[in-house]
């Protein structure tokens, strides 16, 4: 546990999410993915990844009156962490959306009850996992809904509660690297509102997390709207000469460059590492012919460009993979599903 956050960040090279699984509401397989197996973690390691983000739900496995988390769920999460660490992989374990009890409630009205649950959950999680070495990092939240300075101050209390709860459990948690999320995990909002970090009794053991899905018209939008169309294509050399309505009108290379530079200036240049905890883009399987081929080329270029620019600016990229359309891996058969996207991530 001797390395601080900056030193540890140099060891994390290629990260991936195991999304829509441990955080699935209704159980690990409820959203269509199989149980996470050692064989799948082995595949991730063999394919070139050395870090895994584990989005995780806790509230649905806890007693509503006592906030006590079920032992069998703690056992299961610990098992998955061990699969990773036994493979010499780093693990980022969080409290994900989890029904929105934290990230939808950065308000004065909900502050006390949310802090109480944050404290109870992290004391239990940290106590159970405190024997793991520095390969395990804890992350306070996911995408907290914060839009102004007043809400940001409330979010800071949630992060402070997280830090204090983890440190109080002792063992390796006394020095473990911890990750706090920017408001909305949106880069522009984080650059504007996250002007300070919560306090930590151990110096230089905090990282910041942001996500990147810009432009949403390309990465996530699924139908044209009155306010704007979907973007099927992205990047230099990838605009359509015929489907002009679905060419991008913003959010291309220069936007990526500016966003990541802002995180470098605000945090990384000051010795605070930044995780790009999620990024990615959908695969539009409804397209056909030349439109689909150009979309595929755009998607691979986007994945590669965002990954390269993140690394160039010192951010640690974790690709968002949900095991469904556009996934890198087929989790049911434990094989590579999209070798072109994988190559783009690992270049």
Cβ density class 162-180: b for 16+ within 10 Å, e for less? bbbbbbebeebbeebbbbb
252 as an active site residue: the answer is: no
Burial class (CB in 10 A: 0-12, 13-18, 19+), 199: exposed
123 is catalytic: no
Give the start-end residues of each E strand in the chain: 15-17, 51-54, 90-94, 136-139, 178-186, 206-212, 274-279, 315-319, 329-330, 335-336
Residue 75 to residues 78, 319, 328, Cα–Cα distance (Å)? 5, 26, 28
> Cα–Cα distance between 341 and 300 in angstroms, integer?
6
8 Å CB contact between 202 and 167: yes
Q: 60: buried, middle or exposed (CB in 10 Å: 19+, 13-18, 0-12)?
A: middle
Cα distance between residue 303 and residue 258, in whole Å: 17
Contact predicate 24/57, CB 8 Å:
yes
Q: DSSP letters along 64-79, please?
A: TTT-PBPHHHHHHHHH
d(CA 57, CA 62): 10
Enclosing H/E stretch for 41: helix 38-47
DSSP 205-219: -EEEEEEE--SHHHH
Number of neighbouring beta carbons within 10 Å of residue 116: 12
Q: Which of 28, 134, 143, 209 is catalytic?
A: 143
Q: Say how far apart CA 323 and CA 33 lie, in whole Å.
A: 7
Q: Which residues are catalytic?
A: 143, 278
């Amino acid at each position: 546990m001797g390395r601080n956050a900056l030193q540890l960040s140099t060891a994390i090279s290629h990260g991936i999410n195991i999304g829509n699984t441990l955080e699935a509401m209704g159980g690990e397989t409820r959203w269509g993915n199989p149980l996470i197996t050692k064989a799948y973690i082995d595949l991730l390691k063999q394919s070139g990844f050395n870090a895994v983000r584990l989005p995780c739900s806790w509230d649905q496995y806890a007693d509503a009156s006592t906030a006590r988390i079920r032992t069998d769920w703690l056992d299961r999460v610990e098992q998955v962490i061990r699969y990773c660490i036994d493979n010499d992989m780093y693990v980022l374990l969080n409290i994900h959306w989890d029904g929105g009890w934290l990230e939808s409630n950065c308000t004065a009205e909900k502050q006390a009850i949310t802090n109480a649950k944050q404290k109870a959950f992290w004391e239990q999680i940290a106590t159970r996992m405190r024997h793991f070495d520095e390969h395990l990092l804890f992350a306070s939240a996911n995408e907290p809904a914060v839009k102004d300075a007043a809400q940001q101050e409330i979010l800071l209390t949630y992060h402070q509660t997280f830090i204090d709860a983890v440190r109080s459990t002792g063992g390796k948690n006394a020095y473990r690297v911890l990750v706090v999320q920017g408001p909305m995990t949106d880069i522009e909002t984080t650059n504007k509102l996250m002007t300070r970090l919560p306090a930590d009794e151990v110096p230089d053991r905090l990282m910041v997390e942001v996500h990147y899905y810009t432009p949403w018209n390309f990465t996530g939008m699924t139908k044209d709207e009155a306010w704007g169309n979907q973007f099927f294509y992205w990047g230099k050399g990838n605009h359509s000469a015929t489907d002009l309505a679905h060419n991008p009108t913003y959010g291309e290379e220069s936007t990526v460059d500016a966003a990541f530079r802002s995180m470098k200036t605000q945090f990384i240049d000051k010795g605070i590492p930044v995780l790009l905890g999620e990024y990615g883009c959908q695969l539009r399987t409804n397209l056909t012919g030349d439109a689909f081929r150009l979309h595929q080329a755009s998607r691979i270029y986007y994945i590669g460009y965002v990954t390269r620019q993140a690394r160039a600016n010192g951010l640690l990229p974790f690709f968002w993979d949900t095991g469904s359309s556009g996934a890198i891996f087929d989790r049911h058969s434990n094989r590579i599903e999209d070798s072109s996207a994988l190559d783009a991530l690992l270049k």
